[in-house]
A and B are shown apart, each in its own frame.
Chain A
Amino acid sequence: MRAYAIETAAVADAEVRKLMRDPTELMSRAVQPVLWLAIFGQVFSQVRGIPTGSLRYLDFMAPGILAQSILFSAIFYGISVIWERDLGIVHKILVTPAHRSALVLGKAIAAGLRGLVQAVVVYGVAVATDVDIQWTPAGVLTVVLAVVLGSCIFSTFSLVIACIVKTRERFMGIGQVLTMPLFFASNAIYPLDLMPGWLRTIALANPLTYLVDVLRGAMIVGGASVHAWTTSFAVLLGVFLALLALAAHLYPGLAR
């Protein structure tokens, strides 16, 4: 499987190079978490409208905002794939003998690295707004793993959507329609206990919920995860592998 690893690394390498040449893109994605933490978080902390146990609301929501920023930046990964299709880049890649899943995995890994950049930004904002960050090695390492895996999931999900809709216009529409429910039908900014039963059921099937749950325990002093980390990581990994298989199956259709 050495060939598979080389192919994956080749795609990831090219993607990361392109990413590093586009700092405005990275920066513009940083604006949203600033607004959420610095404004929404501050106001809701004052109101005390959402019961979050012993945690301050700001500490409660910071992991949710990290997860959100990962979701929002990864979900538009599909746009770049559609762009590559409108040129002929996808065609050129697909006539090589490389494994289709390696091509897709390479993109996911690049998205994972980009998610880490996003995490650094959110940590910066969190520190500035006095969120009580847990700086233990185990905590930080867990956050790193969760951020990479979460970015892989949502970027690959985005790729699957791109392979289905194939045009930029339709993708933009669908991207909006999907990200908002994913975000609100999760535990990102309020606890699951507050939700009506039907919504809680949806939230429990939403991978974002497991990502936020891991982050909440790992990132914040005094934060607690509802599910065991092994459970959440197993769920996230399972979702990613399923999406990867689906994306590898659909990706060649982009060249038709």
Chain B
Amino acid sequence: MSASAELFAIATSGLSKRFDQLKALDALDLGVARGIIFGLLGPNGAGKSTAIKILTTLLDASAGSAQVAGFDVANEPVEVRRRIGYVPQLLSADGALTATENLNLSARLYGLRGAERVARVRDALTFAGLDEVADKLVRTYSGGMIRRLEIAQATLHGPEVLFLDEPTSGLDPVARHTVWDRLLELRRSRGMTILITTHDMEEADVLCDELAILHRGRLAAIGSPAALKAQVGPDADLEDVFAHFSGAVMDQGGRFRDIRESRGTLQRLG
């Protein structure tokens, strides 16, 4: 492993993505230190999901490169996949399966076998606080329960890096806090590196050791919450930081497609 791979869980260089004429991601240079919670902020359509999809090997970059957990996402995707977990922006737990069945499916696809698989699935249920309802269909769960299940599902193979795309959008405040608790616990007890996208400034403040603000696919600012606030002004809060660097008030702007994608997905399971 190179020196930078030891230091950084995620490193990108000139990472870009075009969709026809649109530059969804424009020459992103990023280094995320191991063991921190890193927040990727930006208004709808800023390129947050696009960045996560490239880093999780789901999408090919148009230019530039990215290493995750020491491996190149384009050339060594399987090595990357073994070492990461991903909670998509949309709902990824299968509503027609129980929590146990969802976890068993993931565990098998991650190559966990026999007694180890059984033990990991049991621990994951406890971690998600779903022991009591483990054998109920997920479509009967609340949004918060589903999110906790998804986090458990994305971490049961013990990934080095966990990606979460707007994990708390659409959740009520109580559910949000239980999600935050789980993420803080993963950092503390397992030293996991966590990259989360959000456009919620409270979440960024509470959770993140470091933040990057994306604006129209470009990196507008990067630093610790405190450092970013200091850059903007003596009494600045993160809302001010966000407005300053993204030139936008939160929840304003964004094309219809982006707004539709980020809202209401939690009701989809019906």
Contacts and interface: CB of A to CB of B under 8 A. Distances in A.
Nearest to A19: B96
A50 interface: no
A89 interface: yes
B92 A87 contact: yes
A89 B92 CA distance: 4
Nearest to A14: B105
B94 A256 contact: no
Interface in A6-21: 6-7, 9-11, 13-14, 17-18, 21
A176 B31 CA distance: 50
Contacts of A10: 104-105, 108-109
Nearest to A9: B108
Nearest to B82: A97
A206 to B, nearest CB: 33
Which bucket holds chain A's interface residue count?
A: 20 to 34
B108 A6 contact: yes
B111 interface: yes
Contact of B59 (A21, A86, A96, A256): A256
A230 B153 CA distance: 45
Contacts, number: 87
B86 A97 contact: no
Chain A facing B: main interface SS: helix
Interface residues of B, number: 37
A98 interface: yes
Given A6-B108, A14-B105, A92-B106, A21 B90 contact: no
A226 interface: no
Interface string A116-145: 000000000000000000000000000000
Given A88-B90, A256-B53, A96 B81 contact: yes
B86 A91 contact: yes
A92 B103 CA distance: 12
Contacts of A3: 111
A97 B88 contact: no
A229 B105 CA distance: 37
Interface string B86-128: 1011111111110001001110111101000000000000000
Given A17-B101, A87-B268, A88-B89, A97 B111 contact: yes
Nearest to A103: B109
Contacts of B89: 88
Nearest to B163: A95
A252 B58 contact: yes
A87 B90 contact: yes
A126 B53 CA distance: 51
Contacts of A7: 108-109
Which of A11, A22, A96, A98 is the most central at the interface, judged by chain B CB atoms within 10 Å of its CB? A96
23 contacts: A3-B111, A10-B109, A11-B109, A13-B105, A17-B97, A22-B96, A86-B90, A87-B90, A87-B269, A92-B153, A92-B154, A93-B109, A94-B58, A95-B57, A95-B81, A95-B85, A96-B81, A96-B106, A96-B110, A97-B82, A97-B109, A98-B110, A103-B109
Interface of A: 3, 6-7, 9-11, 13-14, 17-18, 21-22, 84, 86-89, 91-98, 103, 252, 255-256
Given A87-B95, A87-B268, A255-B59, 6 more contacts: A11-B109, A14-B97, A86-B268, A89-B92, A95-B85, A97-B78
